[in-house]
Structure 1
């Protein structure tokens, strides 16, 4: 009997001024991954010269391919550039944040799960914080209901669509939206759906992709046996411009999937949510006005950068 070779996995890491995280992540992948059938594509999203120079230390190393973009393509765009540079017939693509570390053989465990569960299109490992505590690995689809009623009430209405995020799961579970920091995607599914929506620059890529997966008849899942550490925020900042970018992506998502009445209600909800914080910081007032104007895509960070 001929033993089947392990499926090939293309791991995509996007780097932006965080080369130290990227290098540590690569070392972690190499240490914990048992099978030899993988590659690592590192996409540098127009980092500063010092950070790019630091990345050169991994150029040409075993299983690692380094790609430099002349502009910051954002999260979705950077990942899709990585996919273009990856092996075209990969069985699986792992879109992984660079500020992460493997705790065990994540690729082996996730690929084994997908090999057995043929209706699952994307899965994710269990997330742990840098301090070792467990973090949630999935979320819910954005909607007016979840914002107004909360997850507890929505769970009473539709229990399967709102599993407990803080529960310690020991067995795989179907979830609405896997964490965007570790999306392990079946190759044919990624190609069928055309990848991530690159209109999203920094946020909501996973919500958009998981909704398209659901509509195409596939499932999303958490596989708790696979475990990784995510140093949340390690590869980005939370400036006011970045906060605005969240709402730009969020309302792009709403424009794609929600009707005009719900979009109007959501705009009012988020406007009031930020306006009530104006006494804490005046920037919340500016953010509220930005949302009331519809969080226009023309003001995205993607249009406020220069090539190096």
Structure 2
């Protein structure tokens, strides 16, 4: 196999973020890079401009808004990545790459031969570290984070789940943010890629969980850094996105407790998440109305 590295990103009218994504790649690795833009229906002209400006950019039109995981799967299949490369990257187009960040991830992959996914330290635009390496959501830890998090952000269950009190160190974790991942082709193939039932949100939690169940590791690599302007997509329709997040959370939890005798637990998940969804959606709508009046 060649040294060529494939980076897959899902685009949906990404605006100027895409240019910063592509321009900063030159600082992230010394290897030749091909960027596959799995486009879910952009109308802002940014993907066409990227193809004209960057010789290493390839445009794959998915034919509609398939969602994140489905678009990644489509690109991986269309370009035959598992056969073409041992490792490939998936990343959001609003990521900006830190110097040597991809090379750091690749070096860590050599240290962790059972790593199916490796993720960098992610900073928000204000420079703070985003808790991108987390435990898997258990009934107590994840449930309490989901239910009390909106009204008590500093609660201890959220802190443990998000590993907020952990020092940045290279380690195996439950799951990693899907905004930027180095994936091992063999692992991705073994678990059949992303679960396409998740249109948005929780597809990365599900991926990390299924990798772990298959005997692979999710490894946090804080020596690699990227910046993620995650508000560019969620800000378009926050109420709809919040509702989708809760629906995806229910799908994830219901999958983990599928037996007939566990039905009351699934009902409890549905009721608690439904109440939380209504609370945060109403709060979001009120905030947007206030912004419109100011």
> Which range, TM-score by smaller chain?
0.7 to 0.9
Cα 1:280/1:100, change in 2 over 3 Å:
closer
The one of 1, 23, 26 equivalent to 2:19 is 23
2:45 is aligned with 1:72: no
Please give the alpha-carbon distance, in whole angstroms, between the structure 1 residues aligned to 2:138 and 2:164.
17
Q: d(CA) in 1 for partners of 2:214 and 2:278? A: 38
Asked if 2 retains the 8 angstrom alpha-carbon contact of 1:100 and 1:230, the reply is yes
Cα RMSD (Å): 2.6
> 132, 153, 159: which one pairs with 1:137?
132
Residue in structure 1 matched with residue 248 of structure 2 by the alignment: 249
Q: Distance in 1 between matches of 2:162 and 2:2?
A: 32
- Segments of structure 2 that go 5 or more residues without pairing to the other structure are 146-154, 287-294
Aligned to 1:234: 232
Aligned to 1:267: 270
Aligned counterpart, 1:39: 34
Partner of 1:100: 95
CA contact (8 A) 2:135 2:163 kept: no
Distance 1:224 1:238, change over 3 A: same
The superposition leaves residues 81-101 of structure 1 with CA deviations (integer Å, 9 ceiling, x where unpaired) of: 221233432111211011010
**Cα 1:223–1:23 shift into 2, 3 Å:** same
* Conserved? CA contact 1:15–1:235, under 8 Å: no
- Counterpart contact for 2:239–2:284, Cα < 8 Å: no
Alignment check: 8 A CA contact 1:13 1:22 kept: no
Shift, 1:143, TM fit = 3.5
Task: List runs of 5+ in structure 1 lacking aligned partners.
Answer: 284-308
Q: Is the 8 A contact 1:163 1:175 kept in 2?
A: no
| TM-score using structure 1 length | 0.78
What residue number does 2:181 align with? 183
